Structure 1
Amino acid sequence: MWGHGWNGMGWNGMGWGAMGWGGWIMMILIVLTVWAVVAVAGIAIFRGLSARGGNASPPGDAGRLLDERFARGEIDSDEYTARREALRAAR
């Protein structure tokens, strides 16, 4: 009765509380895993939203953007040809 430690929330001979040390380690690992999943999900959502909202286009879209600018009349045929050749030379 008296030699087995505290009852309740204290030392009971196998560790703190009824879980023991293994239970506490598992609980800490589960909590850390949950927080890691939340952090990764938050980063993925943030990157997805910023990629959709940004005006930056991937490098492969330079030719398409040049075609669109020419089709809208923003640049003339001489500028279009010069820029198209510059894009081909850069690749």
Structure 2
Amino acid sequence: MSTVMYWDGGGWAWMAFIPLVWIALLGFIVWAVVRLTQHPTGRADAQGPGQPPRETPEEILDRRFASGEIDADTYTEAREHLAAHKPRSR
């Protein structure tokens, strides 16, 4: 008498489950490749790890005035120019 060494229960469930595992695995691989190849400066608001936050034009102007790079007249004129050309918020 021969003994069958198989487990004969639920074979159809495993056959339905395995394609889902492959789809999830392939999805993870695609996500990982996109994530690893994405350049951190691809968007205007993106900041790379370890980089200081971007300064606004007003902050740059304030810093330059505080360090003595520009005089008071230039500072005032640049501030007025920035205020006149500030983008509108939606």
Q: TM range, normalised to the smaller chain? A: 0.5 to 0.7
Instruction: Give the corresponding residue for 1:57.
Output: 54
- Tell me the secondary structure at the aligned position of residue 48 of structure 2: helix
Instruction: Give the corresponding residue for 2:3.
Output: none
Whether 1:90 aligns to 2:88 is no
Instruction: Give the corresponding residue for 1:11.
Output: none
Instruction: Give the corresponding residue for 2:18.
Output: 24
What is the total number of aligned residue pairs between the two structures? 69
Instruction: Give the corresponding residue for 1:78.
Output: 73
Q: CA RMSD in A?
A: 3.3
Q: Distance in 2 between matches of 1:79 and 1:51?
A: 33
Instruction: Give the corresponding residue for 1:7.
Output: none
TM-score between the two structures when normalised by the length of structure 2: 0.55
The structure richer in helix per residue is 1
Segments of structure 1 that go 5 or more residues without pairing to the other structure are 1-13
Q: Distance in 2 between matches of 1:88 and 1:64?
A: 13
Greater relative CO, 1 or 2 (CA 8 Å, sep 6+) = 2
TM-score between the two structures when normalised by the length of structure 1: 0.54
Q: Distance in 2 between matches of 1:49 and 1:77?
A: 34
Identical-pair percentage: 26
Segments of structure 2 that go 5 or more residues without pairing to the other structure are 1-10, 41-46
Cα-to-partner distance string for 1:20-62 (whole Å, 9 max, x where unaligned) = 3x23311211212322442465367x52426827xx935xx11
